[in-house]
Chain A
């Protein structure tokens, strides 16, 4: 699990908005795609800790889980994360954690067997709903 890499990437990129673009950040949300299988609490804890030593220490944030939806492009069926993940072993889960697109390497459509699976939502971690104020 590479939570620290992601947390520092998030905080550093927000600091960039502050330092280079010249905006104060009042609040933001971290949306964690289910397929990335990040631990929401660990990620939130790390971001909080990393923010505390910076200009952005007063920024408020929340973490939400973005549900994953994967569509079979061959037959049109859609699948949720829960349906997909139960067929995967630990090693396969770890690979998808790092690179969600590899889902189609490890899962076939339960209905038609196709590997033409498209991730509609819930793949990785995003920072959204950033509220800014001029500095």
Chain B
């Protein structure tokens, strides 16, 4: 075997070591923003911990890291011997770029985003997890590319759309991207459905030959997230519909 590398990026080794303790990674993505993706990723995390799974949530949406606000997390990650231990809420371990950037702007180039994701994956000590949920930014940019590149095994993506035809058009593009990158499509979800006025996500799933996980009704209480506490979030009709979607995906039973 030849080996002619004269430098090492220790972070790649740390990531590899940490991922060995994570059974499965669920990416949550969308084609466009404003489809409720972060809320789905966050609530999914709470539903899974409620089902006795060990779960981490990594918020990689650098344009609008919102998991800390949704979950009302004030605690910072704790520095321990083996890395940064994320704070937990309802047993959900949460890591976000938001901890580091506070309210400052995040003017980041594609390369900088990739470095940040590498750094976060290397320093965060989630410990042993059944599921790591990754809240990806909308689209198929550097964050998605980096996450797919560092997490190569035991992974799948849930894509969030809405009844809007535009949302479906861009989610289709995202779906094709993930299929091309060999990321398993766990399924498509149609979020923000008002008065049973369903859109075409079901047909899109059939066209792409990927599972359709269901419709999630627009829930006014959830839309005004600042007025709801994280513990009540799992008791909403929104969460109930999401729970059914996770059953359909065989993630919970």
Is chain B a partner of chain A in the same complex? yes
Contact, CB under 8 Å: A130 / B8: yes
Residues of chain B lying within 8 A (CB to CB) of residue A129? 6-7
B-contact bits for A96-111, CB 8 A (1 contact / 0 none): 0011111011100000
Measured as residues with beta carbon below 8 angstroms from the partner, the interface class of chain B is: 35 or more
Closest Cβ–Cβ distance, residue A81 to chain B (whole Å): 17
- Of listed B10, B84, B105, residue having the most chain A CB within 10 A: B10
Report how many A-B pairs have Cβ atoms within 8 Å: 102
Residues of chain A lying within 8 A (CB to CB) of residue B113? 101
Q: Does A127 contact B (CB under 8 A)?
A: yes
- Select B100's contact among A1, A6, A102, A125, beta carbons within 8 Å: A102
Closest Cβ–Cβ distance, residue B67 to chain A (whole Å): 17
B-contact bits for A5-40, CB 8 A (1 contact / 0 none): 110111011101100011100000000000000000
Taken together as a complex, chains A and B put the C-alpha atoms of A11 and B190 apart, in Å, by 47
Q: Does A126 contact B (CB under 8 A)?
A: yes
Closest Cβ–Cβ distance, residue A10 to chain B (whole Å): 5
Q: Does B120 contact A (CB under 8 A)?
A: yes
Q: Which single residue of chain A is at the shortest CB-CB distance from B125?
A: A5
A-contact bits for B64-91, CB 8 A (1 contact / 0 none): 0000000000000001011110000000
Contact, CB under 8 Å: B7 / A130: yes
Contact, CB under 8 Å: B3 / A12: no
Contact, CB under 8 Å: B112 / A101: yes
Contact, CB under 8 Å: B13 / A2: no
Contact, CB under 8 Å: A124 / B119: yes
Closest Cβ–Cβ distance, residue A94 to chain B (whole Å): 9
Known: A2-B123, A21-B3. A105 touches B107 (CB 8 A): yes
Q: List 12 A-B contacts (CB under 8 A).
A: A2-B84, A5-B82, A9-B122, A12-B10, A12-B14, A13-B12, A16-B13, A99-B97, A99-B100, A123-B115, A124-B119, A129-B7
- Give me the interface of B with A, judged by CB distance under 8 Å: 1, 3, 5-14, 17, 79, 81-84, 97, 100-102, 104-109, 112-113, 115-116, 119-120, 122-123
Additional pairs, 14, CB under 8 Å, beyond known A95-B100, A99-B119, A102-B100:
A1-B79, A5-B82, A12-B14, A13-B12, A13-B14, A98-B123, A101-B119, A105-B106, A115-B107, A124-B119, A127-B9, A128-B7, A130-B5, A130-B6
The 7 closest A-B pairs by CB, nearest first: A13-B13, A9-B10, A105-B104, A101-B112, A127-B8, A115-B107, A9-B14
